[in-house]
Amino acid sequence: MSDNTFGRLFRMTTFGESHGPAIGCVIDGCPPGLAIDAAEIQQQLVRRATGKSRHTSQRKEQDEVQILSGVFEGRTTGTPIALVIENTDARSRDYTDLAKKFRPGHADYTYWKKYGIRDYRGGGRASARETTMRVAAGAIARKYLRAQFGIEIQGWLAQLGPIRTDKVMDMDTVEDNPFFSPDPSVVQQLEEYMDNLRKSGNSVGARISARASNVPAGLGEPVYGKLDADLASAMMGINAAKAVEIGAGFDCVEQLGTEHRDEITPDKFLSNHAGGVLGGISSGQDVLVSVAFKPTSSLRIPCRSVDVDGHAVEVITQGRHDPCVGIRATPIVEAMLALVLMDHVLRQRAQNG
Protein backbone atom coordinates (compact mmCIF):
# COMPACT_ATOMS: atom_id res chain seq x y z
CA MET A 1 0.00 0.00 0.00
CA SER A 2 1.69 3.20 -1.15
CA ASP A 3 1.01 6.92 -0.61
CA ASN A 4 0.92 6.90 3.15
CA THR A 5 2.94 10.11 3.20
CA PHE A 6 1.47 13.60 3.29
CA GLY A 7 3.28 16.87 2.53
CA ARG A 8 6.34 17.99 0.53
CA LEU A 9 8.69 19.59 3.07
CA PHE A 10 6.83 18.83 6.31
CA ARG A 11 6.24 15.15 5.62
CA MET A 12 4.06 12.90 7.72
CA THR A 13 4.03 9.16 7.08
CA THR A 14 1.38 7.24 9.02
CA PHE A 15 1.18 3.50 9.68
CA GLY A 16 -0.99 1.06 11.54
CA GLU A 17 -4.44 -0.50 11.55
CA SER A 18 -7.39 -0.04 13.89
CA HIS A 19 -6.99 -3.45 15.53
CA GLY A 20 -3.23 -3.86 15.14
CA PRO A 21 -0.91 -3.40 18.12
CA ALA A 22 -0.37 0.30 17.51
CA ILE A 23 -0.89 3.25 15.21
CA GLY A 24 1.89 5.73 14.52
CA CYS A 25 3.64 8.21 12.29
CA VAL A 26 7.03 9.56 11.34
CA ILE A 27 7.29 13.31 10.69
CA ASP A 28 10.25 14.37 8.61
CA GLY A 29 11.25 17.97 7.96
CA CYS A 30 10.15 19.62 11.19
CA PRO A 31 12.44 22.58 11.86
CA PRO A 32 14.74 22.16 14.88
CA GLY A 33 14.34 24.03 18.13
CA LEU A 34 10.55 23.93 18.43
CA ALA A 35 9.48 23.38 22.03
CA ILE A 36 7.02 20.48 22.12
CA ASP A 37 6.05 17.74 24.56
CA ALA A 38 3.68 14.80 24.60
CA ALA A 39 1.18 16.67 26.79
CA GLU A 40 0.64 19.34 24.11
CA ILE A 41 -0.01 16.69 21.47
CA GLN A 42 -2.27 14.87 23.92
CA GLN A 43 -4.43 17.98 24.34
CA GLN A 44 -5.40 17.76 20.68
CA LEU A 45 -5.80 13.98 20.72
CA VAL A 46 -8.28 14.18 23.58
CA ARG A 47 -10.52 16.46 21.52
CA ARG A 48 -10.78 13.81 18.78
CA ALA A 49 -11.04 10.71 20.97
CA THR A 50 -13.89 8.20 21.03
CA GLY A 51 -16.06 7.66 24.10
CA LYS A 52 -16.10 11.27 25.32
CA SER A 53 -19.90 11.44 25.07
CA ARG A 54 -22.73 9.01 24.34
CA HIS A 55 -22.90 10.44 20.79
CA THR A 56 -19.68 8.84 19.57
CA SER A 57 -18.18 5.35 19.41
CA GLN A 58 -17.83 3.86 22.90
CA ARG A 59 -14.45 2.28 22.18
CA LYS A 60 -12.34 3.35 25.14
CA GLU A 61 -8.81 4.14 24.00
CA GLN A 62 -6.43 6.18 26.14
CA ASP A 63 -4.76 7.49 22.96
CA GLU A 64 -1.61 8.01 24.98
CA VAL A 65 1.02 9.28 22.57
CA GLN A 66 4.70 8.40 22.97
CA ILE A 67 7.41 10.45 21.31
CA LEU A 68 10.02 7.91 20.24
CA SER A 69 12.48 10.20 18.50
CA GLY A 70 13.21 13.66 17.17
CA VAL A 71 12.68 15.55 20.44
CA PHE A 72 15.51 16.11 22.93
CA GLU A 73 15.14 17.99 26.20
CA GLY A 74 11.75 19.28 25.08
CA ARG A 75 12.82 20.59 21.68
CA THR A 76 12.67 19.20 18.17
CA THR A 77 16.11 18.28 16.86
CA GLY A 78 15.42 18.34 13.12
CA THR A 79 15.60 14.54 12.96
CA PRO A 80 12.54 12.35 12.24
CA ILE A 81 9.88 12.64 14.92
CA ALA A 82 8.29 9.22 15.53
CA LEU A 83 4.98 9.08 17.41
CA VAL A 84 3.11 5.98 18.47
CA ILE A 85 -0.17 5.16 20.21
CA GLU A 86 -1.00 1.65 21.34
CA ASN A 87 -4.39 0.19 20.48
CA THR A 88 -5.74 -1.16 23.75
CA ASP A 89 -9.49 -1.61 23.33
CA ALA A 90 -9.99 -3.37 20.00
CA ARG A 91 -12.85 -5.93 20.03
CA SER A 92 -12.17 -7.87 16.87
CA ARG A 93 -14.94 -10.43 17.40
CA ASP A 94 -17.46 -7.72 16.44
CA TYR A 95 -16.07 -8.01 12.93
CA THR A 96 -16.14 -11.79 12.45
CA ASP A 97 -19.26 -11.60 10.28
CA LEU A 98 -17.65 -8.97 8.03
CA ALA A 99 -14.58 -11.07 7.19
CA LYS A 100 -16.09 -12.10 3.87
CA LYS A 101 -18.86 -9.53 3.42
CA PHE A 102 -18.82 -5.89 2.39
CA ARG A 103 -20.61 -3.07 4.20
CA PRO A 104 -22.30 -0.97 1.50
CA GLY A 105 -20.86 2.53 1.52
CA HIS A 106 -17.61 1.35 3.14
CA ALA A 107 -14.05 0.96 1.85
CA ASP A 108 -14.40 -2.78 2.63
CA TYR A 109 -15.42 -3.28 -0.98
CA THR A 110 -12.75 -1.22 -2.72
CA TYR A 111 -9.86 -2.45 -0.54
CA TRP A 112 -10.85 -5.99 -1.52
CA LYS A 113 -11.13 -5.08 -5.22
CA LYS A 114 -7.72 -3.38 -5.10
CA TYR A 115 -5.67 -5.78 -2.98
CA GLY A 116 -7.62 -9.06 -2.81
CA ILE A 117 -6.81 -9.14 0.91
CA ARG A 118 -7.85 -6.89 3.78
CA ASP A 119 -7.60 -6.57 7.52
CA TYR A 120 -11.35 -6.46 8.13
CA ARG A 121 -10.98 -5.93 11.90
CA GLY A 122 -12.21 -2.45 12.75
CA GLY A 123 -11.91 -1.42 9.11
CA GLY A 124 -8.14 -1.99 9.27
CA ARG A 125 -6.25 0.86 7.66
CA ALA A 126 -9.51 2.49 6.49
CA SER A 127 -10.55 3.14 10.09
CA ALA A 128 -11.02 6.62 11.52
CA ARG A 129 -8.34 5.51 13.96
CA GLU A 130 -5.73 6.57 11.40
CA THR A 131 -6.77 10.18 12.01
CA THR A 132 -5.14 10.09 15.47
CA MET A 133 -1.83 10.63 13.71
CA ARG A 134 -3.07 13.50 11.58
CA VAL A 135 -4.17 15.22 14.78
CA ALA A 136 -0.87 14.42 16.53
CA ALA A 137 1.26 15.71 13.65
CA GLY A 138 -1.13 18.64 13.27
CA ALA A 139 -0.49 19.59 16.92
CA ILE A 140 3.22 20.02 16.13
CA ALA A 141 2.45 22.04 13.00
CA ARG A 142 0.05 24.25 14.94
CA LYS A 143 2.65 24.92 17.58
CA TYR A 144 5.15 26.06 14.94
CA LEU A 145 2.63 28.19 13.05
CA ARG A 146 1.57 29.95 16.22
CA ALA A 147 5.13 30.47 17.45
CA GLN A 148 6.43 31.82 14.13
CA PHE A 149 3.45 33.74 12.73
CA GLY A 150 0.77 33.88 15.40
CA ILE A 151 -1.43 31.73 13.16
CA GLU A 152 -4.52 30.52 15.01
CA ILE A 153 -6.66 27.66 13.75
CA GLN A 154 -10.22 27.08 14.89
CA GLY A 155 -12.81 24.65 13.59
CA TRP A 156 -16.47 24.19 14.39
CA LEU A 157 -19.53 22.11 13.54
CA ALA A 158 -21.48 24.07 10.93
CA GLN A 159 -24.32 21.57 10.36
CA LEU A 160 -25.35 18.14 11.57
CA GLY A 161 -28.01 16.45 9.45
CA PRO A 162 -30.81 19.03 9.08
CA ILE A 163 -29.62 21.20 11.99
CA ARG A 164 -27.61 24.32 11.10
CA THR A 165 -25.26 25.17 13.93
CA ASP A 166 -23.42 28.19 12.54
CA LYS A 167 -26.15 30.82 12.75
CA VAL A 168 -24.64 32.00 16.03
CA MET A 169 -20.83 32.06 16.09
CA ASP A 170 -19.90 32.12 19.76
CA MET A 171 -16.43 30.61 19.46
CA ASP A 172 -15.91 30.53 23.22
CA THR A 173 -18.52 27.77 23.48
CA VAL A 174 -17.10 25.43 20.81
CA GLU A 175 -15.17 23.36 23.36
CA ASP A 176 -18.00 23.39 25.89
CA ASN A 177 -20.27 20.91 24.13
CA PRO A 178 -19.68 17.43 22.70
CA PHE A 179 -20.39 18.59 19.12
CA PHE A 180 -18.00 21.56 18.73
CA SER A 181 -21.06 23.70 18.01
CA PRO A 182 -20.46 27.45 18.09
CA ASP A 183 -24.18 28.01 18.79
CA PRO A 184 -24.97 27.00 22.37
CA SER A 185 -28.72 27.36 21.76
CA VAL A 186 -28.82 24.31 19.43
CA VAL A 187 -26.94 21.90 21.69
CA GLN A 188 -30.11 20.52 23.32
CA GLN A 189 -31.61 19.97 19.87
CA LEU A 190 -28.45 18.18 18.76
CA GLU A 191 -28.54 15.96 21.85
CA GLU A 192 -32.15 14.96 21.17
CA TYR A 193 -31.56 14.44 17.48
CA MET A 194 -28.54 12.22 18.13
CA ASP A 195 -30.32 10.23 20.88
CA ASN A 196 -33.18 9.43 18.52
CA LEU A 197 -30.83 8.64 15.67
CA ARG A 198 -28.76 6.28 17.81
CA LYS A 199 -31.88 4.45 19.00
CA SER A 200 -33.01 4.05 15.39
CA GLY A 201 -29.65 2.50 14.44
CA ASN A 202 -29.13 4.99 11.62
CA SER A 203 -26.38 7.53 10.94
CA VAL A 204 -26.16 11.05 9.52
CA GLY A 205 -23.74 13.43 7.82
CA ALA A 206 -22.26 16.71 9.00
CA ARG A 207 -20.41 19.78 7.85
CA ILE A 208 -17.28 21.06 9.59
CA SER A 209 -15.78 24.48 8.91
CA ALA A 210 -12.42 25.87 9.97
CA ARG A 211 -10.58 29.15 9.87
CA ALA A 212 -6.89 29.99 10.02
CA SER A 213 -6.21 33.59 11.01
CA ASN A 214 -2.98 35.64 10.82
CA VAL A 215 -1.87 33.66 7.77
CA PRO A 216 0.78 35.68 5.94
CA ALA A 217 0.21 36.60 2.31
CA GLY A 218 2.23 34.57 -0.20
CA LEU A 219 1.71 30.94 0.83
CA GLY A 220 0.87 28.56 -2.01
CA GLU A 221 2.22 27.97 -5.49
CA PRO A 222 0.61 29.81 -8.40
CA VAL A 223 -0.01 26.94 -10.83
CA TYR A 224 0.47 23.40 -9.46
CA GLY A 225 0.46 23.26 -5.67
CA LYS A 226 -2.08 26.03 -5.22
CA LEU A 227 -2.86 26.52 -1.54
CA ASP A 228 -6.57 25.91 -2.09
CA ALA A 229 -5.91 22.84 -4.26
CA ASP A 230 -3.70 21.37 -1.54
CA LEU A 231 -6.34 22.16 1.08
CA ALA A 232 -9.01 20.46 -1.00
CA SER A 233 -6.82 17.39 -1.44
CA ALA A 234 -5.95 17.29 2.27
CA MET A 235 -9.56 17.58 3.38
CA MET A 236 -10.86 15.06 0.84
CA GLY A 237 -8.25 12.66 2.19
CA ILE A 238 -9.96 12.54 5.60
CA ASN A 239 -12.07 9.39 6.03
CA ALA A 240 -15.73 9.93 5.05
CA ALA A 241 -15.13 13.38 3.49
CA LYS A 242 -17.30 13.89 0.43
CA ALA A 243 -17.03 17.59 -0.44
CA VAL A 244 -14.80 20.56 0.28
CA GLU A 245 -15.46 24.26 -0.12
CA ILE A 246 -13.00 27.15 0.11
CA GLY A 247 -14.56 30.48 1.09
CA ALA A 248 -17.95 30.92 -0.59
CA GLY A 249 -17.47 27.51 -2.24
CA PHE A 250 -20.50 26.35 -4.20
CA ASP A 251 -22.41 29.52 -3.26
CA CYS A 252 -20.26 31.35 -5.83
CA VAL A 253 -22.42 29.71 -8.52
CA GLU A 254 -25.29 32.06 -7.66
CA GLN A 255 -23.18 35.11 -6.90
CA LEU A 256 -22.56 37.97 -9.29
CA GLY A 257 -19.06 39.26 -9.77
CA THR A 258 -19.89 42.48 -7.94
CA GLU A 259 -20.86 40.42 -4.91
CA HIS A 260 -18.15 37.77 -5.04
CA ARG A 261 -15.12 40.00 -5.53
CA ASP A 262 -13.69 41.07 -2.23
CA GLU A 263 -13.21 44.82 -2.54
CA ILE A 264 -10.00 46.21 -1.09
CA THR A 265 -9.51 49.45 0.81
CA PRO A 266 -6.21 50.80 2.13
CA ASP A 267 -7.14 49.29 5.52
CA LYS A 268 -8.59 45.92 4.64
CA PHE A 269 -10.58 43.63 2.36
CA LEU A 270 -14.31 44.34 2.66
CA SER A 271 -15.43 40.69 2.46
CA ASN A 272 -13.86 37.23 2.19
CA HIS A 273 -15.70 35.16 -0.39
CA ALA A 274 -12.32 33.97 -1.69
CA GLY A 275 -11.61 32.21 1.61
CA GLY A 276 -8.22 33.87 1.90
CA VAL A 277 -6.78 32.46 -1.34
CA LEU A 278 -6.41 34.28 -4.67
CA GLY A 279 -4.74 32.55 -7.61
CA GLY A 280 -3.68 29.71 -5.33
CA ILE A 281 -1.78 32.09 -3.02
CA SER A 282 -2.82 33.27 0.44
CA SER A 283 -3.95 36.89 0.48
CA GLY A 284 -3.39 37.54 4.16
CA GLN A 285 -7.10 37.20 4.89
CA ASP A 286 -8.43 34.35 7.02
CA VAL A 287 -8.23 31.00 5.22
CA LEU A 288 -11.71 29.46 5.28
CA VAL A 289 -12.49 25.83 4.50
CA SER A 290 -15.57 23.70 4.93
CA VAL A 291 -15.88 19.90 4.63
CA ALA A 292 -18.93 17.63 4.21
CA PHE A 293 -18.78 14.22 5.90
CA LYS A 294 -21.01 11.38 4.79
CA PRO A 295 -23.21 9.35 7.15
CA THR A 296 -21.31 6.41 8.68
CA SER A 297 -21.75 3.20 6.72
CA SER A 298 -21.52 0.83 9.71
CA LEU A 299 -25.20 0.38 10.61
CA ARG A 300 -27.06 -2.24 12.58
CA ILE A 301 -30.04 -1.81 10.23
CA PRO A 302 -29.90 -4.82 7.85
CA CYS A 303 -29.12 -4.20 4.20
CA ARG A 304 -28.35 -6.04 0.97
CA SER A 305 -24.81 -6.64 -0.13
CA VAL A 306 -22.53 -9.34 -1.54
CA ASP A 307 -19.76 -11.52 -0.15
CA VAL A 308 -16.27 -11.99 -1.58
CA ASP A 309 -17.63 -14.67 -3.93
CA GLY A 310 -20.28 -12.33 -5.30
CA HIS A 311 -23.20 -14.05 -3.57
CA ALA A 312 -26.10 -11.98 -2.23
CA VAL A 313 -25.95 -11.60 1.57
CA GLU A 314 -27.53 -9.57 4.31
CA VAL A 315 -25.19 -7.30 6.29
CA ILE A 316 -25.76 -6.10 9.84
CA THR A 317 -22.85 -4.27 11.48
CA GLN A 318 -22.20 -5.11 15.11
CA GLY A 319 -20.01 -3.21 17.55
CA ARG A 320 -19.31 0.33 18.60
CA HIS A 321 -19.71 2.91 15.86
CA ASP A 322 -20.08 6.65 15.48
CA PRO A 323 -23.61 7.53 14.36
CA CYS A 324 -22.10 10.74 12.97
CA VAL A 325 -18.37 10.79 12.23
CA GLY A 326 -18.61 14.55 11.79
CA ILE A 327 -18.98 14.95 15.56
CA ARG A 328 -15.31 14.01 16.04
CA ALA A 329 -14.06 15.59 12.82
CA THR A 330 -13.47 19.19 13.95
CA PRO A 331 -9.96 18.52 15.36
CA ILE A 332 -9.12 16.48 12.26
CA VAL A 333 -10.08 19.28 9.86
CA GLU A 334 -8.08 21.72 11.99
CA ALA A 335 -5.09 19.37 11.89
CA MET A 336 -5.17 19.02 8.11
CA LEU A 337 -5.43 22.80 7.77
CA ALA A 338 -2.37 23.14 10.02
CA LEU A 339 -0.42 20.51 8.08
CA VAL A 340 -1.08 22.19 4.72
CA LEU A 341 -0.15 25.63 6.04
CA MET A 342 2.98 24.23 7.68
CA ASP A 343 4.11 22.63 4.45
CA HIS A 344 3.52 25.85 2.52
CA VAL A 345 5.28 27.98 5.13
CA LEU A 346 8.38 25.83 4.63
CA ARG A 347 7.99 25.90 0.85
CA GLN A 348 7.68 29.66 0.87
CA ARG A 349 10.80 29.94 3.03
CA ALA A 350 12.69 27.58 0.71
CA GLN A 351 12.03 29.67 -2.40
CA ASN A 352 11.53 33.21 -1.17
CA GLY A 353 13.53 33.23 2.05
Question: Where do contacts with ligand EPS occur on this chain (CB under 6 A)?
Answer: 18, 50, 57, 59, 61, 90, 94, 122-123, 127-129, 132, 298, 319-321
Beta bridge partners of 154: 211
- Residue 187 sits at the vertex; the CA angle it makes with 185 and 189, to the nearest 5 degrees, is 95
3-state secondary structure (DSSP) of residue 341: helix
Please give the C-alpha separations between residue 118 and each of 91, 130, 172, 262, in angstroms, as whole numbers. Answer: 17, 16, 43, 49
Q: Which is nearer to ligand EPS, 122 or 220 (CB)?
A: 122
- The span from the CA of 336 to the CA of 137, in Å, is 9
Could you give the C-alpha distances from 17 to 125, 149, 203, 293, 304, in angstroms and in order? Answer: 5, 35, 23, 21, 27
In whole angstroms, how close is the CB of 267 to ligand EPS at the nearest point?
A: 44
Nearer to ligand EPS by Cβ, of 127 and 305: the residue is 127
Q: How far is the CB of 123 from ligand EPS (least distance, A)?
A: 4
In the chain, the N- to C-terminal Cα span, in Å, equals 36
Q: Which is nearer to ligand EPS, 8 or 52 (CB)?
A: 52
Dist CA 104 CA 101 (whole Å): 9
- Smallest separation, CB 57 to ligand EPS (Å): 3
Phi/psi at 325 (5° precision): -65, -25
The smaller minimum CB distance to ligand EPS, of residues 50 and 282, is found at 50
Residue 215 or 238: which CB sits closer to ligand EPS? Answer: 238
For residue 20, the minimal CB distance to ligand EPS (Å) is 11
**Residue nearer to ligand EPS on the CB measure, 128 or 337:** 128
CB of 50 to ligand EPS, least distance (A): 5
Neighbours of 305 (CB within 10 A): 19
Shortest reach from residue 110's CB to ligand EPS, in Å: 15
Concatenate the DSSP letters of all residues of 19-50 into one string: TSSEEEEEEE-PPTT-B--HHHHHHHHHHH-T
User: Which H helix or E strand runs over 109?
Assistant: helix 108-115
Minimum CB distance to ligand EPS smaller for 163 or for 325: 325
As beta bridge partners, residue 67 has: 83
User: Residue 61 or residue 262: which is nearer to ligand EPS going by CB?
Assistant: 61
Minimum distance of ligand EPS from residue 240's CB (angstroms): 8
Contact 85, 57 (CB under 8 A): no
Closest distance between ligand EPS and the C-beta of residue 325, in Å?
7
